[in-house]
């Protein structure tokens, strides 16, 4: 053979080898298949239900052989900006010479345990991009992230750095997004995705999810339904700016790009540094969002939520009862109320700190984490001790990332605050009026000294009071007046480095205080992402505790979040609803109270005490990830949800009538998730003192088959009526 023929032969073998590279990523029910094409590009060839015969993988068409794309190279797993693809790219890098493009080619891949790693490289520039896929087989969740490394001298900027690109082909696509606002979190909204782009994103930095939440659902072939149909459910684990782009291309292929929002975040990446993107998590259900939610909740409980296997504490919070108006005497009296109620913990909220500028309202004191002497002369240790004497644990509110301009901290360390530079340093010849959200500013967590300070807020309290069991970590302001005095010329890094700074602080807190329970709060549910919950044991869903609104908010969060993490408190919001109704709604989550007990009637107080006992008895079922949403508040004037224990021996049904229409025909509610052949006793619990259940199914025994096929009547024609029903295998 001549040398030329030999070379050609080698080339043929190599091309065959490369085109045959198939990477299969599987969970119990889902399969993602990537192939390397003849141009060494990594392409998605399949994403759907797991194929039974793995030999069928060879039948999957390479994208250029038939699947639709404007990109001549196929449906690239990580398409780049500026070369062939006409659509939203995942990756953009501006090299030191100003070239804004790259072409990423397959280099190698490896699969170890549940993790797959694919290395891509640009042949012209020293840029390496590694795609990671981690599967959680039983929960059917796939995690994706990317690592970007560059070895160029000079300034290299990342313009885009998504975590994931997924492609789908279906006759129609319907997006469900989770619109939000203060007191209006997780409002589910649906729309058909047509040709072009729909972006769901946040640019608020801190309190990043105030206006929209980092979750989505896409019905493939029709609107997402509860128990039928193919649906993609995804979320970004990032406690900051996120972005999901849904783009239907010219061939009606849906492209879903997920990652940190690159908007206003052109990131300067130093030579040798590795940029790790956020984690994107998704599940693909063939049986509607109900199945997807159970998968996400189970995954949160098994792999993600901090202290997921540990218990949670019921609590009494003083915020809506006293606001800033409290002193030692008032608090000690409230410890007594907490004890009388039977909760595990008293949570002292905002307003306990600041001396030069006492925190008597939200205009001053934030940043000065010393107890206000004339309000609480014996300090926090006295409160912890008194709580203990009353048989309750003690928890405390902090907002350590923030500062009021009226504070000693702001006077001492103006350079620690995210704030636009003055006219002198900007050279712009004039000062821009700062914008204050809730009269406060955000500390510059890009700065390691600030990270130390923020860690020190927790550490200081814990050193002084090792018996503090719980902290509520609030974050009321988005990042405003965006400029980091620490980063100076790399301002594009601020949104990303802020979150990294936050994680570094939270890592330290978790390492030093692994037993501390922490609530993630952000002016209600302005922070609610799944990576945040690696550090927090629970989160505050919303300041809105009107039980009717909460039915919607909890319905929304339950699409992804486990009940154990969702703080739900009984308050004064909507006093038209009885205490029973308010409590029965909060019973669905992690139960707490934020209400003055003195204002309640004896019966109401008695109801609360008994319901707390029942909650403690049943919490393992309440927190089970086996959630069945049976009747949607979005579809009428009722809401019914059901939880089932893993062994199907125990279940709870929560039924609520909101404002039923006159003469409305009431249907049976068919239960789910039970054993067909088993017999179950149905019993209404949590009745008001002296009341009997009037449900016709009460105290009867049915087969699981009957309960699931015929169902029982748990809704009524009356306003604001609720029932909690226990279903026990005989
Ligand atoms: C906002 C939170 O959502 C409330 O629960 C309360 O803690 C206030 N902040 C305190 O300022």
> pLDDT (tens digit, 9 = 90+) per residue, 419-455?
998 744 455 566 788 999 999 999 999 999 999 999 9
* SS3 (DSSP) at 385: helix
- In this structure, the residue with its CA closest to atom 2 of ligand 1 is 523
Residue 269 — very low, low, confident or very high, per pLDDT cuts 50/70/90? very high
Query: 536, 559 in Cβ contact below 8 A?
Result: no
**Residue written as tokens 């203990």?**
388
What pLDDT, on a 0 to 100 scale, did the predictor assign at position 69?
46
What pLDDT, on a 0 to 100 scale, did the predictor assign at position 39?
87
- Ligand 1 atom having least distance to the Cα of 540: 3
Percent of the chain exceeding pLDDT 90 equals 91
**Domain count across the chain:** 3
Instruction: Give the span between the Cα atoms of 74 and 52, in whole angstroms.
Output: 25
Ramachandran bin of 229, using left for φ above 0, alpha for ψ from -120 to 50, beta for the remaining angles: left
- State the chain's maximal CA–CA distance in angstroms: 100
Q: Which residues touch 68 (CB under 8 Å, ≥6 apart)?
A: 169, 249, 250, 251, 252, 253
HSE-up of residue 240 (Cα within 13 Å, Cβ side)? 24
Residue 20 — very low, low, confident or very high, per pLDDT cuts 50/70/90? low
CATH number at residue 693: 2.60.40.1180
Query: Ligand 1 pocket, 351 CB below 6 A?
Result: no
Instruction: Give the span between the Cα atoms of 84 and 103, in whole angstroms.
Output: 9
| Residues 216-267 pLDDT 10s | 999 999 999 999 999 999 999 999 999 999 999 999 999 999 999 999 999 9
Q: What's the distance, Cα to Cα, between the start and end of the chain in Å?
A: 81
Is residue 473 predicted with pLDDT exceeding 60? yes
Query: Ligand 1 pocket, 397 CB below 6 A?
Result: yes
In a domain, 608, yes or no: no
What pLDDT, on a 0 to 100 scale, did the predictor assign at position 14?
39
CATH number at residue 246: 2.70.98.60
DSSP assignment string, 470-527: EEEE-------S---TTTTT-GGGHHHHHHHHHHHHHHHHHHH-TT-EEEE-BTTBS-
Instruction: Give the span between the Cα atoms of 513 and 610, in whole angstroms.
Output: 33
**Dihedral sign of CA atoms 295, 298, 304, 306 in order:** positive
C-alpha 350 to ligand 1 mean position (Å): 7
- In this structure, the residue with its CA closest to atom 9 of ligand 1 is 523
Residue of 182, 350, 470 to mutate, ligand 1, most atoms within 8 A of C-beta: 350
Query: 384, 396 in Cβ contact below 8 A?
Result: no
What pLDDT, on a 0 to 100 scale, did the predictor assign at position 66?
39
Specify burial of residue 309 (Cβ count, 10 A radius: 0-12, 13-18, 19+): exposed
Domain limit, last residue, from 304, 324, 356: 304
- In this structure, the residue with its CA closest to atom 1 of ligand 1 is 523
In a domain, 529, yes or no: yes
Residue of 209, 476, 522 to mutate, ligand 1, most atoms within 8 A of C-beta: 476
Q: What are the distances in angstroms from CA 355 to CA 358, 440, 456, 724?
A: 5, 17, 18, 47
Instruction: Supply 522's token pair.
Output: 């952000």
Q: Strand pairing of 279-285 and 517-520?
A: unpaired
Is residue 193 domain-shared with residue 56, that is, in the same domain? yes
Query: Ligand 1 pocket, 319 CB below 6 A?
Result: yes
What pLDDT, on a 0 to 100 scale, did the predictor assign at position 166?
98
Domain of 501, in residue numbers: 315-536
* SS3 (DSSP) at 259: strand
Which run of H or of E encompasses 673? none
Residue in 719, 716, 718, 706 with CA at minimum distance from that of residue 727? 706
Query: Ligand 1 pocket, 476 CB below 6 A?
Result: yes
Is residue 3 predicted with pLDDT exceeding 70? no
In a domain, 77, yes or no: yes
Domain limit, last residue, from 520, 536, 552: 536
Is residue 7 domain-shared with residue 135, that is, in the same domain? yes
pTM of the complete model: 0.96
Is residue 131 predicted with pLDDT exceeding 50? yes
Is residue 418 predicted with pLDDT exceeding 80? yes
Residue in 66, 26, 81 with CA at minimum distance from that of residue 49? 26
Residue in 669, 681, 675, 674 with CA at minimum distance from that of residue 726? 681
Instruction: Give the span between the Cα atoms of 114 and 110, in whole angstroms.
Output: 11
Is residue 71 predicted with pLDDT exceeding 50? no
What pLDDT, on a 0 to 100 scale, did the predictor assign at position 65?
39
Q: What are the distances in angstroms from CA 10 to CA 18, 390, 716?
A: 12, 81, 76
Q: What are the distances in angstroms from CA 471 to CA 158, 399, 493, 509, 537?
A: 37, 10, 30, 11, 10
Residue 10 — very low, low, confident or very high, per pLDDT cuts 50/70/90? very low
Q: What is the mean pLDDT of residues 674-694?
A: 98
Query: Ligand 1 pocket, 523 CB below 6 A?
Result: yes
**Of the listed ranges 45-59, 69-83, 463-477, the one predicted with least confidence:** 69-83
- Tell me how many degrees the CA angle 443-449-451 measures, rounded to the nearest 5: 60
Is residue 23 domain-shared with residue 136, that is, in the same domain? yes
Pick the more confident residue, 4 or 380.
380
- In this structure, the residue with its CA closest to atom 11 of ligand 1 is 350
Helix ranges (DSSP H) in 24-108: none
Is residue 320 domain-shared with residue 266, that is, in the same domain? no
- Ligand 1 atom having least distance to the Cα of 522: 3
C-alpha 448 to ligand 1 mean position (Å): 27
Residue in 608, 529, 454, 606 with CA at minimum distance from that of residue 202? 529
Q: Strand pairing of 230-237 and 212-220?
A: antiparallel
Residue of 324, 365, 473, 521 to mutate, ligand 1, most atoms within 8 A of C-beta: 521
C-alpha 437 to ligand 1 mean position (Å): 14
| Residues 615-665 pLDDT 10s | 999 999 999 999 999 999 999 999 999 999 999 999 999 999 999 999 999
Q: Strand pairing of 627-631 and 638-644?
A: antiparallel
**Residue written as tokens 């047509």?**
194
Q: What is the mean pLDDT of residues 309-337?
A: 98
What pLDDT, on a 0 to 100 scale, did the predictor assign at position 52?
94
CATH number at residue 351: 3.20.20.70
Instruction: Give the span between the Cα atoms of 356 and 363, in whole angstroms.
Output: 13
Instruction: Supply 214's token pair.
Output: 């980092």
Helix ranges (DSSP H) in 525-595: 547-557, 579-586
C-alpha 45 to ligand 1 mean position (Å): 48
Q: What are the distances in angstroms from CA 683 to CA 41, 584, 588?
A: 60, 15, 17
Is residue 338 domain-shared with residue 267, that is, in the same domain? no
Spell out where 349-467 has E strands.
Answer: 393-398, 402-403, 441-442
Residue 344 — very low, low, confident or very high, per pLDDT cuts 50/70/90? very high
Residue of 347, 360, 366, 397 to mutate, ligand 1, most atoms within 8 A of C-beta: 397
Query: 333, 318 in Cβ contact below 8 A?
Result: no
Query: Ligand 1 pocket, 540 CB below 6 A?
Result: yes
Query: Ligand 1 pocket, 524 CB below 6 A?
Result: yes
Instruction: Give the span between the Cα atoms of 622 and 340, in whole angstroms.
Output: 24
Query: Ligand 1 pocket, 349 CB below 6 A?
Result: yes
- In this structure, the residue with its CA closest to atom 10 of ligand 1 is 350
Is residue 340 domain-shared with residue 448, that is, in the same domain? yes
- In this structure, the residue with its CA closest to atom 4 of ligand 1 is 523
Is residue 582 predicted with pLDDT exceeding 60? yes
In a domain, 471, yes or no: yes
C-alpha 475 to ligand 1 mean position (Å): 9
In a domain, 565, yes or no: no
Query: 361, 324 in Cβ contact below 8 A?
Result: yes
What pLDDT, on a 0 to 100 scale, did the predictor assign at position 82?
83
Query: 493, 545 in Cβ contact below 8 A?
Result: no
Instruction: Supply 536's token pair.
Output: 């927090």
Taking 3-state DSSP, the helix, strand and coil percentages for the chain, each rounded to the nearest 5, stand at 25, 30, 45
Is residue 331 domain-shared with residue 459, that is, in the same domain? yes
In a domain, 469, yes or no: yes
Domain limit, last residue, from 511, 536, 561: 536
Residue 489 — very low, low, confident or very high, per pLDDT cuts 50/70/90? confident
Ramachandran bin of 378, using left for φ above 0, alpha for ψ from -120 to 50, beta for the remaining angles: alpha
C-alpha 540 to ligand 1 mean position (Å): 9
Task: Specify the long-range contacts of residues 4-11, CB closer than 8 Å, at least 24 apart.
Answer: none
Instruction: Give the span between the Cα atoms of 268 and 158, in whole angstroms.
Output: 6
Residue 673, Cα to own-chain centre: how many angstroms? 26
Is residue 324 domain-shared with residue 240, that is, in the same domain? no
Average pLDDT of the chain is 94
Is residue 156 predicted with pLDDT exceeding 90? yes
Query: 704, 677 in Cβ contact below 8 A?
Result: yes
Instruction: Supply 165's token pair.
Output: 């690109």
Query: Ligand 1 pocket, 543 CB below 6 A?
Result: yes
| Residues 711-726 pLDDT 10s | 999 999 999 999 999 9
C-alpha 139 to ligand 1 mean position (Å): 34
Residue 361 — very low, low, confident or very high, per pLDDT cuts 50/70/90? very high
Is residue 296 domain-shared with residue 338, that is, in the same domain? no
Q: What is the mean pLDDT of residues 193-201?
A: 98
What pLDDT, on a 0 to 100 scale, did the predictor assign at position 67?
42
Instruction: Give the span between the Cα atoms of 187 and 207, in whole angstroms.
Output: 17
Report DSSP state, residue 664.
P
Query: Ligand 1 pocket, 474 CB below 6 A?
Result: yes
Is residue 279 domain-shared with residue 339, that is, in the same domain? no
C-alpha 524 to ligand 1 mean position (Å): 7
In a domain, 576, yes or no: no
Is residue 460 domain-shared with residue 419, that is, in the same domain? yes
In a domain, 594, yes or no: no
Q: What are the distances in angstroms from CA 473 to CA 13, 168, 250, 382, 550?
A: 59, 39, 46, 22, 21
Residue 527 — very low, low, confident or very high, per pLDDT cuts 50/70/90? very high
C-alpha 366 to ligand 1 mean position (Å): 13
Query: Ligand 1 pocket, 521 CB below 6 A?
Result: yes
- 519: which strand partners? 472, 538
- Ligand 1 atom having least distance to the Cα of 397: 7
Residue in 243, 247, 278, 275 with CA at minimum distance from that of residue 262? 243
Is residue 292 domain-shared with residue 363, that is, in the same domain? no
What pLDDT, on a 0 to 100 scale, did the predictor assign at position 74?
67
């Amino acid at each position: 053979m001549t040398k030329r023929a030999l070379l050609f032969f080698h080339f043929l073998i190599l091309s065959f080898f490369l085109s045959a590279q198939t990477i299969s990523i599987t969970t119990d029910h889902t399969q993602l298949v990537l192939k390397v094409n003849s141009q060494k590009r990594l392409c998605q060839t399949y994403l759907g239900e797991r194929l039974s015969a793995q030999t069928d993988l060879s039948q999957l068409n390479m994208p250029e052989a038939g699947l639709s794309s404007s990109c001549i190279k196929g449906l690239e797993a990580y398409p780049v900006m500026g070369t062939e693809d006409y659509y939203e790219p995942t990756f953009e890098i501006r090299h030191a010479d100003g070239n804004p493009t790259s072409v990423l080619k397959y280099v190698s891949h490896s699969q170890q345990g549940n993790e797959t790693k694919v290395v891509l490289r640009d042949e012209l520039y020293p840029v390496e991009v590694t795609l990671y896929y981690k599967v959680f087989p039983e929960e059917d969740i796939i995690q994706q992230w990317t690592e970007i490394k560059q070895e160029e001298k000079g300034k290299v900027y990342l313009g885009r750095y998504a975590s994931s690109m997924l492609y789908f082909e279906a006759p129609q696509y319907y997006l469900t997004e989770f619109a939000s606002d203060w007191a209006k979190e997780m409002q589910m909204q649906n729309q058909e995705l047509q040709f072009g782009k729909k972006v769901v994103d946040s640019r608020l930095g801190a309190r990043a999810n105030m206006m929209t939440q980092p979750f989505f659902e896409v019905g493939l072939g029709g609107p997402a339904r509860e128990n039928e149909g193919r649906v993609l459910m995804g979320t970004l684990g990032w406690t900051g700016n996120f972005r999901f782009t849904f783009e239907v291309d010219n061939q009606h292929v849906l492209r879903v790009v997920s990652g940190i929002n690159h908007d206003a975040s052109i990131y300067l990446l130093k030579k040798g540094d590795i940029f790790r993107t956020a984690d994107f998590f998704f599940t693909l259900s063939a049986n509607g969002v109900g199945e997807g939610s159970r998968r996400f909740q189970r995954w949160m409980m098994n792999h993600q939520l901090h202290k997921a296997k540990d218990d949670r504490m019921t609590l009494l919070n003083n915020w809506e009862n006293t606001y800033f108006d409290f002193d030692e005497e008032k608090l000690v009296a409230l410890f007594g109320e907490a004890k009388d109620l039977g909760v595990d913990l008293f949570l002292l909220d905002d307003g306990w700190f600041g001396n030069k500028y006492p925190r008597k309202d939200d205009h001053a004191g934030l940043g000065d984490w010393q107890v206000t002497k004339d309000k609480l002369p014996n300090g926090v240790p006295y409160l912890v001790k008194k709580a203990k004497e009353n048989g309750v644990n003690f928890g405390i509110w902090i907002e350590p990332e923030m500062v009021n301009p009226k504070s000693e901290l702001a006077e001492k360390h103006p350079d620690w605050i995210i704030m636009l530079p003055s006219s002198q340093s900007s050279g712009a010849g004039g000062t821009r009026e700062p914008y204050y959200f809730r009269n406060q500013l955000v500390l510059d967590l890009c700065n390691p000294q600030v990270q130390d300070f923020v860690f020190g807020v927790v550490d200081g309290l814990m050193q002084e009071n090792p018996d503090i069991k719980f902290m509520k970590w609030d974050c009321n302001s988005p990042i405003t007046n965006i400029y980091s005095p620490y980063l100076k010329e790399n301002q594009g890094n601020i949104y990303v480095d802020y979150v990294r700074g936050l994680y570094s602080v939270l890592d330290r807190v978790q390492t030093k205080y692994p037993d501390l329970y922490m609530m993630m709060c952000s002016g209600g549910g302005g922070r609610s992402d799944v990576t945040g919950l690696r550090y927090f044991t629970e989160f505050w869903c919303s300041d809105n505790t009107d039980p009717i609104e909460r039915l919607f908010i909890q319905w929304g969060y339950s699409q992804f979040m486990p009940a154990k993490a969702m703080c739900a408190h009984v308050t004064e919001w909507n006093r038209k609803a009885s205490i029973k109704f308010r409590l029965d709604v909060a019973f669905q989550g992690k139960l707490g109270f934020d209400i003055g007990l003195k204002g309640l009637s004896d019966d109401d107080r008695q109801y609360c005490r008994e319901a707390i006992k029942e909650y403690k008895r049943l919490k393992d079922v309440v927190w089970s990830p086996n959630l069945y949403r049976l009747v949607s508040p979005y579809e009428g004037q009722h809401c019914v949800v059901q939880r089932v224990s893993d062994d199907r021996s125990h279940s709870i049904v929560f039924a609520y009538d909101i404002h039923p229409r006159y003469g409305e025909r009431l249907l049976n509610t068919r239960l789910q998730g039970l054993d067909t052949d088993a017999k179950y006793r149905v019993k209404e619990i949590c009745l008001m003192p002296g009341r009997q259940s009037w449900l016709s199914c009460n105290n009867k025994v049915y087969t699981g088959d009957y309960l699931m096929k015929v169902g029982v009547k748990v809704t009524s024609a009356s306003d604001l009526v609720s029932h909690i029903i226990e279903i026990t295998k005989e």
